[in-house]
Amino acid sequence: MEIGTIIAGLIALKFIRFPFLTAPIAFSLWYMSMDLTPLLFGKIDFSYKEGLWVSLWFGLAVLLASYVIDRRTEEDYVFWGYLFGMLAFWGGLSLMEAGSEFRKAVYCLINVGLMLMSVLLERRVFLVFGALGVFGYLGHLAYSVFKDSLLFPFALTFLGIAIIYLGIKYQRNRALIESVILDFMPESLRQLLPKARVRG
């Protein structure tokens, strides 16, 4: 069913250049990532961990394909690809058992990287998922440090206020922050960024 939806969507896109037609294609790709696991491992009773790894790599492939298309089109045909690609990638990454504190810190760094990618690619979906991941990690730290302490609600409240404050500051100074980041980038990397376009 997913393959049929994707083929039908691609045929419709060939005749009707309407960006929203990519929504069912991207949704079907995301749903397909859940059906691919038994096919890849050759068994129906696959483990939860195997499913998460397939989701992560499949989401990464969809994000990469969306980026390639993003650089070649004037209209925004890849919003849904980025969204469902992030759902598969970030969902698989976030649901994995981190285990050690080092792996949890790496998870936080990956989410910080997603927030940086949102500035470079001008895609807020990266910022939303990255901020959720960072907030989750900081919440874990607050719970671990202040566990069974009366200071825990105060630490959590301070953390929430700090994130809201940083979000407001970023929104007000977004153009300046983006220009500063772009100024530090070499010209060769700037050429890899998607073409500027008006996004709704």
Instruction: Let me know whether 128 and 174 are in one domain.
Output: yes
Q: Of residues 11 and 108, which shows the higher confidence score? A: 108
Instruction: Let me know whether 76 and 136 are in one domain.
Output: no
Residue range 76-100: mean pLDDT, rounded: 84
Of 64, 97, 130, which residue sits at a domain end? Answer: 97
Of 65, 97, 129, which residue sits at a domain end? Answer: 97
Q: Of residues 45 and 160, which shows the higher confidence score? A: 160
pLDDT of residue 41: 64
- Residue tagged 């989410």 (tokens): 111
Instruction: Let me know whether 83 and 130 are in one domain.
Output: no
Instruction: Let me know whether 114 and 187 are in one domain.
Output: yes
In the chain, the percentage of residues whose pLDDT exceeds 90 is 4
When pLDDT is cut at 50, 70 and 90, the band that residue 200 belongs to is: very low
Sequence letter at residue 105: A
Structure tokens at 160: 């929430």
Instruction: Let me know whether 112 and 159 are in one domain.
Output: yes
Number of domains the chain contains? 2
Which pTM was predicted? 0.72
Of 32, 66, 97, which residue sits at a domain end? Answer: 97
pLDDT of residue 103: 86
Q: Of residues 161 and 187, which shows the higher confidence score? A: 161
d(CA 91, CA 114): 13
Mark 29-47 as b/e (b = at least 16 C-beta within 10 Å).
Answer: bbebbeebbeeeeeeeeee
pLDDT of 142 > 80? The answer is no
When pLDDT is cut at 50, 70 and 90, the band that residue 129 belongs to is: very high
Instruction: Let me know whether 46 and 124 are in one domain.
Output: no
Instruction: Let me know whether 93 and 105 are in one domain.
Output: no
Structural domain boundaries, residue 154: 99-200
d(CA 31, CA 127): 23
When pLDDT is cut at 50, 70 and 90, the band that residue 27 belongs to is: confident
